[in-house]
Amino acid sequence: MSDPTDRGQLATSLLEAAVGALLILSVVAGFLWVPAGGTAGSTATALDRTAADALAVLAAEPPSGSGRNRLAAACRSPASFATERDALERRLRVVLPTAAFGRLETPHGPVGPPRPDGVPVGRATRTVAGCRVTLRVWSV
């Protein structure tokens, strides 16, 4: 007859091997089914929030020329937009996070680089002194 301790050791080894295999399969399945990084929706939402915050900061700043705020001054006329353009571009770079880029669109022209195709974009729009201003933000 066989020794009962031999049989118990064999069953324990098989049980440990089965548990180990299930553990490895669950880890592999986790990598396959869980997306790496955030979803596109959460990225767009975060970019929308960034755009809204940056636009609020720009709207609260005093202008280089005359007027209530920098955005209202930029919307007043093409000449006032030309006066505010460089200051808006510098301030936009400071207000946005390091890895983010933005383009401010006014009726008199844009400020900032054109956005590349195929990247998630956040957007915020604000009406200032009867002028509609849109800020689009993306990151690379």
> What 8-state DSSP symbol labels residue 62?
P
Q: Which amino acid is at 9?
A: Q
pLDDT tens track for 22-67: 888 777 777 666 555 555 567 778 899 999 999 988 888 877 655 5
**Spacing of C-alpha 103 from chain mean position:** 14
Per DSSP, the three-state class of 137 is: strand
pTM exceeding the 0.85 threshold for the entire prediction: no
**pLDDT tens column, 85-134:** 998 899 899 899 888 999 999 999 999 999 888 889 999 999 987 889 99
Domain ranges of the chain: 1-34, 40-139
